[in-house]
Structure 1
Amino acid sequence: MQPCGSWASPSRCGRDARAPAESVGPLHQTTLHFRALVTRSSLLIPLLAALLLAGCNPPESPKGGKKDGKAAAALPSRAVQAAPAESRPMERAVSVIGALAAIDQATLSVKVTGRLQSLSVDLGTRVRKGELVAQIESVDYELKLRSAEALLAQARARLGLPLVGSDDTVKAEETSTVRQARASLLESQKQRDRIKALAQRGISPQSELEVAEANYEIAFNRHLEALEDIRQRQGVLQQRRVDVEIARQQLADTKIIAPFDGIVQERRASPGEFLNTAAPIVTLVKVDPLRLRVEVPERNATGVRPGLKVRLTVEGDTNHYTGTIARLSPAITELNRMLIVEADIANQAGALRPGTFARADIVLAAAEPATAVPKAALVTFAGMEKIFLVKDGNAAEKNIAVGRRADGFIEVLGGVKPGDLVVLNPGALQNGQPVTVNTSRPPPAKKAPVPAAPKAGKKTS
C-alpha cells in the first residue's frame, strides 16, 4: 500500500484510511475504549493525590497572623465552685433482691369425718390463736363419748369402784372376788390340817386325807384365778379409760381452731359439705412478722451474720421497712454460688404482703471510711457517671464508679483521693476548659431576712 500524501488522490487516501477501522470487529473496539479510559485514569490519580495532600497540609500562616475558624479558638475561662473530696464514715451495705413470705402458713383440715356445720371465716378474715374457724356436726361424737363413759363405769363397778371418778387404783386382795377365794382357801387348809393330824393318830382314814389335800389344791388355784381375774378387770378398766379419752378427743376435733394469729388466705370448703378425714377447709397465713428470703453473692457472704440490720423497700410503696437477719443457710448453693439468708420483718400494720418482691440492703458496717464527693459534683450522661477535677487551673473530666450515698455525698470507688478539688454543678463545663475556683460551698437555701440591729446613735422609725 502506498502512503497517503499530497500527491495521492483524496479518494484513495480516505478509502485506505478507513479500511482498518472498517475491518476491526466489535470486540477490538471495546478493548480500545478500555485502554483509553485507563490512560486518562493514570493521569488523574496523581493529580487527585496532590490536591488531597495540599488540603491536609495547609501552608502555615505567617507569624503574628490570626488563626482561622472555631477550631483554633481558645475556650473562655469560667468561674466555678469547687469542694475537696473527703474521707467520710459511710455505711457499708450489700444490696440484694428477694421476696417476702409468711412466717407461718398452714392449711387447716378436719381430723374426723362429718358434715361441715358452720364456717365462721372467709377470705381476708383476721383470726386469733384459739379462735373457732369451723364446726363439724358433733351429735354422733357426743353419743360415742356417752357410750364410752358407760362402759368405763361398768368396768369400775366390776372392781368395786364408784361409777364416776378419776382414780382407778385398786388393791386386788381387797376385792370381793379375791376375799371369797381366800376364805375358801383358808377353810380348805384348816380342814386338811385337821384330817392330817387325825390320820397321824390313826383315827381318820387315809382316803379322807387325800380328799382334804385335793380340796386344798382346788381352793388354792381358785384364789390364783381370782387374782388373775382382778388383774384382767384392771386392764379392761384402763382400756375403757382410753376409749373415753379417744371419744372425747374426737368430739373436740369437730371444732377447727386457729393455731396462730393470722389471716385467711383461701377458703376451700362450704357449710353443708360432707368432709372426709384430712379434707382442707381454709389456708391461714401469719403476716407479723414476715419472712424475707434473699440470696447474697458469695463474694459478699463473708460479713453476713445473724443479727445484722436489714432495710427494704417494695414496689409501689415509698416507705422503708427494717428487720433483722434471723437465719442463714449453712452452705453456699453450688448452682448459682449464692448464700440463702432469711430476715424477720415486723409487719404490725399489715402493709406488707407475703409474696411481694422486695429490694433490701444488708448493713454490714454502720460507719466505714470512704472517699466521697458532694452529690452536686456528679454528672450522668448516657449511662456514664463522671466528675470534673481541677488540675493546673483547668477542668479535667474523670469517669468514675460510684458506691454508697449518704448525707448528700457519694462514694467514689477509685481514681480520686481525699483533698482533690471537684467542680460543683459543672453544667456545660468542657474538658480542659480554664476555670477560676471558688472553694466556698454552695449557699444554703434563702430564709426570711432578719432585721439588723440598729447602729449606735441611730433610731429606727
Structure 2
Amino acid sequence: MWTVLSELRQSENSRHRASGPPRVLWTSAVALAAALQCLACDQGASQPGGAKAEKPAASVKEVTLAPVTELVMEQAVDISGTLDADEQVTLGAKVAGRLASISVDLASPVQRDQVIAQLEARDYELRIEQATAALAQSRAQLGLPPDGPDSELDIEGTAVVRQALATFKEAQANQVRARGLAREGLMSGMDLDAAEAAAVRAETAVQSAREEVRIREAAVRQRRSELRMARQQLADTLVRSPLDGVVQVRRANVGQYLAAGAPIVDVVRIDPLRLRVAIPELEAASVRAGQPVRVSLPGDSATYPGTVARLAPALDPQSRTLLVESDIKNPGHLRPGSLVSAQIVVSSRPVPTVPATAVVRFAGLAKVITVEDGKAKEKQVTTGKTSGDRVEIVSGVAAGESVVARPGSLQQGQPVRVVEGG
C-alpha cells in the first residue's frame, strides 16, 4: 500500500514540474489509503489469528471453605481511667521541736513502723523527770513508796485517817466521862456541851481525812497520767511510717523547727494501685463487684489484671456516671496518676465467628464470600469483637454455614471449585 502511495506521489511531483500541482489527485490517494487500512483491520479482526480475539471465559478458581463456628467471647465495657495510689499520707510530728535527723528522701522505699525522722528529745526527757518527781511526791503523801502500783492503797491505814480516828476515839471517851460526871453533878452543863461538840468535830474530822486521802489518791493518778503523757511525747519525737510505701515528697530539712503537725514527708502506697473509672449510666447497670478487669497502658503491650472491688452507691447527678474502683497488682513499674485503658468483662456468651482472613473490608463495609451452585456469592456482614484469629459475626451469616477462608480477589459470580485443605 505504501509503495502505491509513493508511486502516486512521484507521478504527482512530475506533473507538478510540468504543468503545476493538481492537489486533487494527492488527496484522493490519501483517502484511498485510509480506506484500504480500515479494510485490512476489519479482515484481521474477523480472522481467528487477528489483532482482536474473542474474550476468553472466566477461569475457575480453587477455594477452601471454613465453617462459621460458635466461640465463647467476652462482652466487655471499654473505658478510660486513671491509676491512683492505694493510700497517700502526709507524715508530720505530733509534737513541736527541732528536726534532728531524717533518714529518707524522694523515692525512698519505707516499711510500716520504720523511723523516717527524729526531733530533738532533750526537752521531753526533762519533762519525764519532772513528771516522775511529781508522782513520787504524791505517792509519799499517801505513805506509798516511789515505785509500785497505785492499787495497793488502804485508806483506813493512811496516817491522816489513823490520826483522825485516834482523835475521834479520844473525843468519844471524853464524851462518855463528861456524861457520867454530869449525872453525878460533878461537871457543869457547859463542860458537857463542850465534850459533846468535841466528839462531833472528831467524827467529822475522820470523814474529812478519808476524803483527803481520796483527793491525794486522785492526784497520784493524775501524776501517773502526766508521766505517761511525757513518755508518749518523747516517743512522738520519732516519726514512723504508718504503711509500706514510697516517699513522694520530702518537705523538711535537718535543723528546721517544726510546729506540732507540720509536714515532713508524703508517703504513697503503690501496690496495689487503685484504678478509678467513671462508667456511663447505660453501661453501669451490667457492672458488678468481682468482675474481671484488664488494664493496658499506652506504649506497653502487657495487660494487667484486676477485679471490680468497689462501686459508688449512687450515680453522679451531673455527669450521669458511676464511679468504679479496682485493685491492680503493681509489678513494680506502674506509676500512680497514669492514664490507662480498661476493660470490664461483664459477661461471656457463644457467638458466630469466622477466620479473620475470610472477612473482606472495602470502603467501610465488611463482607464474606460463600459458594452457591459452584459460584462465588458475596454476603455483607456486621463484625464484632476479635479474639485471636477469629472475628465475631453479629449479622450476615449464621453458625453452621461455610465461607471462603481466603477470598483474595474473588468476585461475585466467579466460578469456583472447593478443595480440601488450604
Which TM-score band applies after superposition, normalised by the shorter structure?
0.7 to 0.9
| Distance verdict in 2 for CA 1:73–1:330, change over 3 Å | farther
1:193 Cα shift?
A: 1.1
Q: Deviations over 1:130-186 (max 9, x none)?
A: 111111111111111211111111111111112122434523222110110111011
AA aligned opposite 2:398 = K
Q: Aligned Cα RMSD in Å?
A: 2.3
1:441 Cα shift?
A: 5.0
Contact conserved, 2:296 with 2:303, CA < 8 A, in 1?
Answer: yes
AA aligned opposite 2:184 = R
The equivalent of 1:46 in structure 2 is: none
2:318 maps to which of 335, 348, 351: 335
AA aligned opposite 1:157 = A
AA aligned opposite 1:330 = P
Contact conserved, 1:310 with 1:325, CA < 8 A, in 2?
Answer: yes
1:183 maps to which of 153, 160, 166: 166
Matched, 1:411 2:392: yes
Q: Equivalent residues in 2 for 1:171-210 (5 A)?
A: 171-210=154-193
Cα distance in 2 for partners of 1:282, 1:396 equals: 71
Matched, 1:103 2:80: no
Matched, 1:436 2:421: no
Q: Equivalent residues in 2 for 1:215-364 (5 A)?
A: 215-347=198-330, 349-364=331-346
1:392 Cα shift?
A: 4.9
Cα distance in 2 for partners of 1:97, 1:193 equals: 98
The equivalent of 2:6 in structure 1 is: none
1:84 Cα shift?
A: 2.1
Cα distance in 2 for partners of 1:285, 1:219 equals: 69
| Distance verdict in 2 for CA 1:425–1:247, change over 3 Å | same
1:399 Cα shift?
A: 4.4
| Distance verdict in 2 for CA 1:157–1:394, change over 3 Å | farther
SS of structure 2 residue aligned to 1:140:
helix
Moved more, 401-410 or 191-200: 401-410
SS of structure 1 residue aligned to 2:150:
coil
Contact conserved, 1:178 with 1:223, CA < 8 A, in 2?
Answer: yes
Cα distance in 2 for partners of 1:81, 1:398 equals: 17
Contact conserved, 2:69 with 2:352, CA < 8 A, in 1?
Answer: yes
AA aligned opposite 1:267 = R
Moved more, 255-264 or 399-408: 399-408
Contact conserved, 1:99 with 1:292, CA < 8 A, in 2?
Answer: yes
The two structures have a TM-score, normalised by structure 1, of: 0.75
Cα distance in 2 for partners of 1:313, 1:269 equals: 37
Unaligned stretches of 5+ in structure 1? 1-68, 443-461
Cα distance in 2 for partners of 1:357, 1:260 equals: 25
Cα distance in 2 for partners of 1:414, 1:355 equals: 41
Cα distance in 2 for partners of 1:302, 1:188 equals: 89
Cα distance in 1 for partners of 2:153, 2:125 equals: 29
The equivalent of 2:153 in structure 1 is: 170
SS of structure 1 residue aligned to 2:395:
coil
Moved more, 272-281 or 75-84: 75-84
SS of structure 2 residue aligned to 1:179:
helix
1:422 maps to which of 390, 397, 403: 403
Cα distance in 1 for partners of 2:56, 2:132 equals: 111
| Distance verdict in 2 for CA 1:117–1:383, change over 3 Å | farther
1:435 Cα shift?
A: 4.2
Moved more, 256-265 or 157-166: 157-166
* Aligned residues between the structures: 369
AA aligned opposite 1:361 = Q
AA aligned opposite 2:316 = T
SS of structure 2 residue aligned to 1:154:
helix
Identity of aligned residues (%): 43
| Distance verdict in 2 for CA 1:374–1:105, change over 3 Å | same
Q: Equivalent residues in 2 for 1:6-155 (5 A)?
A: 76-155=59-138
| Distance verdict in 2 for CA 1:217–1:370, change over 3 Å | same
AA aligned opposite 2:414 = P
AA aligned opposite 1:413 = V
Contact conserved, 1:77 with 1:433, CA < 8 A, in 2?
Answer: no
The two structures have a TM-score, normalised by structure 2, of: 0.81
SS of structure 2 residue aligned to 1:413:
strand
1:125 Cα shift?
A: 0.8
